[in-house]
């Protein structure tokens, strides 16, 4: 059996079994935590499966014209499965008393399954199906706090924008199919190159690529398509925001890399400047908007938009620099870890105090020392302070920008990193220097802290010793 079939059986089996398990054991297991433990076990098993396969030679998948098991897919699915594990562990505390807990974990695993299939798909049909499998459960998860008006609002806004994104992708695929007569990525782009040079049908090919950028852009949170992000992240349960920011957004990038970058290489450098401008716009707008936020989840949402800009740098210079995609991949992996850690730290604070405004973070260093420390480290990593993991991936990205002949892009990136220290530093100052009236030590919930601890260890370990991960990313790019 190849890796992908095993993953599909494991994840789909787990997701389908969970509501049943929940129903059968609801009254017998105290606290109703059983579905959570099953979900964590399934997700950990899948990540181990993927993790071990990275060191061995990969068997081809069962339908090799639809799926391609390569290192790029392995790396991405490892990243998204890690995020799902974090989210599942954090949810053990966060959604403990919800009556629909079995469904919650089931939807979480379905999302993970969609992201894993997306990471390996090389046919537009499978990409679209996986895209929907990943998106539909997250619409429901965003509105999971049924009686909470903010959760409702987040859910409906996210749904409308997400469905529009899927619609655009579907129309783009239909145009591509009409031009090429096939949906396999490999044939598609060799044919597209021919069509672009023919001039007569070129506008249609360009239109379909623009629709692809739009459709994927909604998930990736690139700037003209970003307006739903802060609302969705703020209103959704914070563990679900973690999944959206660190998981499905990354899946948007893997689809974009599979579809756009290969296509762009075929279309040569025409799109480099467009994407470079999008990158600068995304970074700058995200960072400036983050400076004025008063809610931690909104701040992290805007910082997440800014980080998407950094990843787009890598996509923009991919045709001219071999390091571009390596940097993008590396930053995707790092950002998944850093952002999960930051969101989980925010989840701990919201869970324990019920407040998400930044004033609530005053004196957090004394009230919740571990959470405050972990949040500080993850924010420093997000800002790109050495020797944490965010520094190395930004370093690779900026080197790629200079190598690719766009030094101004590197300069914009460095300036933006400094700008982002503005709001991260402000929050760190609040946690350690400001006082909170009537501050008492608050006990930090065990499972949430465990998830945060794993994230923290990964941030520091990859920061101190990044070589194996960079090598893995380099091999992944070579394997496409």
174 binds another protein (CB under 8 A): yes
Q: Give the position of tokens 């949040």.
A: 375
Q: Which of 56, 59, 44 minimizes the C-alpha distance to 5?
A: 59
- Here's the x/- map for another protein, 150-169, by CB under 8 A: it reads as x-xxxxxx-xx--xx-xxx-
> Which is closer to another protein, CB of 48 or CB of 63?
63
> Which is closer to another protein, CB of 28 or CB of 147?
147
CB atoms within 10 A of CB 418: 11
Q: What are phi and psi of 184, to 5 degrees?
A: -70, 135
Helical H segments across 95-184, by residue range: 101-120, 124-142, 149-180
Site for another protein in 282-311 (CB under 8 A): 289, 292-295, 298
> Which is closer to another protein, CB of 180 or CB of 409?
180
For 31: left if phi > 0, alpha if psi spans -120 to 50, otherwise beta; the answer is left
194 binds another protein (CB under 8 A): no
DSSP 8-class letter at 445: P
**Considering only residues 182, 284, 322, 399, which one is a binding residue for another protein as defined by CB under 8 A?**
182
65 binds another protein (CB under 8 A): no
Site for another protein in 231-250 (CB under 8 A): 231, 234-235
**Considering only residues 140, 285, 450, 460, which one is a binding residue for another protein as defined by CB under 8 A?**
140
Q: Which stretch binds another protein (CB under 8 A): 4-12, 174-182, 310-318, 408-416?
A: 174-182
**Considering only residues 66, 72, 134, 136, which one is a binding residue for another protein as defined by CB under 8 A?**
136
> Which is closer to another protein, CB of 169 or CB of 400?
169
147 binds another protein (CB under 8 A): yes
| DSSP-derived 3-state class of residue 397 | helix
475 binds another protein (CB under 8 A): no
> Which is closer to another protein, CB of 293 or CB of 417?
293
205 binds another protein (CB under 8 A): no
171 binds another protein (CB under 8 A): yes
Quote the CA–CA distance of 293 and 236 in Å, as a whole number. 17
Site for another protein in 337-376 (CB under 8 A): none
Sequence-separated (6 or more) residues with CB below 8 Å from residue 209: 172, 260, 263, 267, 271
Q: Which of 341, 160, 352 minimizes the C-alpha distance to 245?
A: 341
Q: DSSP assignment of 222-255, as one string? A: -GGG-TTHHHHHHHS-HHHHHIIIIIIHHHHHHH
Return the C-alpha torsion angle 48, 50, 54, 60, nearest 10: 150
| DSSP-derived 3-state class of residue 33 | coil
> Which is closer to another protein, CB of 158 or CB of 398?
158
56 burial (CB, 10 Å; 0-12 / 13-18 / 19+) is exposed
**Considering only residues 29, 54, 170, 450, which one is a binding residue for another protein as defined by CB under 8 A?**
170
26 binds another protein (CB under 8 A): no
132 binds another protein (CB under 8 A): yes
- The answer to whether the CB of 93 falls within 8 A of the CB of 445 is yes
Site for another protein in 98-127 (CB under 8 A): 125
Residues that bind another protein (CB under 8 A): 125, 128-129, 132, 136, 139-140, 143, 146-150, 152-157, 159-160, 163-164, 166-168, 170-171, 173-175, 177-178, 181-183, 230-231, 234-235, 289, 292-295, 298
């Amino acid at each position: 059996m190849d890796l992908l079939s095993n993953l599909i059986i494991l994840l789909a089996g787990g997701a389908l079994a969970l509501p049943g398990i929940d129903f059968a054991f609801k009254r017998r297991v105290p606290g109703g935590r059983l579905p959570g433990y099953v979900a964590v076990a399934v997700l950990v098993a899948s990540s181990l499966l993927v993790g071990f396969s990275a060191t061995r030679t990969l068997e081809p998948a069962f339908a090799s014209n639809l799926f391609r098991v390569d290192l790029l897919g392995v790396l991405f699915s490892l990243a998204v499965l890690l995020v799902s594990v974090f989210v599942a562990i954090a949810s053990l505390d966060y959604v403990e008393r919800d009556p629909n807990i079995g469904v919650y974990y089931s939807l979480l695993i379905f999302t993970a399954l969609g992201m894993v299939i997306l990471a390996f798909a090389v046919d537009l049909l499978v990409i679209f199906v996986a895209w929907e499998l990943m998106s539909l459960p997250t619409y429901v998860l965003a509105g999971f706090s049924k009686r909470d008006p903010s959760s409702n609002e987040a859910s409906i806004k996210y749904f409308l924008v997400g469905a529009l994104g899927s619609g655009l992708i579907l129309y783009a695929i239909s145009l591509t199919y009409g031009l090429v007569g096939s949906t396999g990525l490999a044939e598609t782009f060799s044919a597209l190159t021919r069509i672009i040079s023919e001039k007569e049908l070129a506008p249609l090919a360009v239109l379909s690529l623009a629709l692809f950028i739009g459709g994927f852009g909604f998930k990736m949170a690139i700037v003209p398509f970003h307006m739903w992000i802060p609302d969705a992240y703020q209103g959704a349960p914070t563990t679900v925001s973690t999944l959206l920011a660190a998981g499905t957004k990354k899946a948007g990038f893997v689809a974009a890399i599979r579809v756009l970058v290969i296509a762009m290489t075929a279309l040569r450098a025409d799109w480099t400047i467009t994407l470079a401008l999008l990158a600068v716009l995304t970074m700058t707008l995200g960072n400036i908007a983050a400076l004025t936020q008063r809610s931690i989840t909104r701040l992290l949402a805007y910082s997440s938009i800014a980080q998407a800009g950094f990843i787009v740098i890598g996509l923009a210079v991919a045709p001219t620099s071999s390091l571009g995609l390596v940097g993008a991949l590396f930053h995707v992996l790092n950002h998944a870890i850093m952002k999960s850690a930051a969101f989980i730290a925010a989840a701990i604070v919201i869970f324990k105090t019920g407040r998400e405004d930044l004033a609530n973070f005053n004196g957090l260093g004394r009230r919740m020392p571990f959470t405050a420390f972990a949040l500080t480290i993850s924010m420093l990593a997000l800002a790109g302070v050495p020797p944490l993991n965010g520094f190395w991936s930004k370093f690779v990205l900026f080197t790629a920008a200079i190598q690719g002949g766009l030094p101004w892009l590197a300069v914009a990136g460095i300036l933006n990193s400094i700008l982002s220290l503005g709001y991260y530093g402000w929050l760190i100052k609040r946690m350690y220097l400001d006082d909170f009236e009537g501050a008492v030590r608050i006990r930090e919930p065990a499972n949430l802290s465990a998830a945060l601890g794993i994230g923290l260890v990964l941030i520091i370990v990859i920061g101190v010793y990044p070589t194996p991960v960079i090598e893995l990313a380099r091999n992944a790019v070579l394997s496409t």
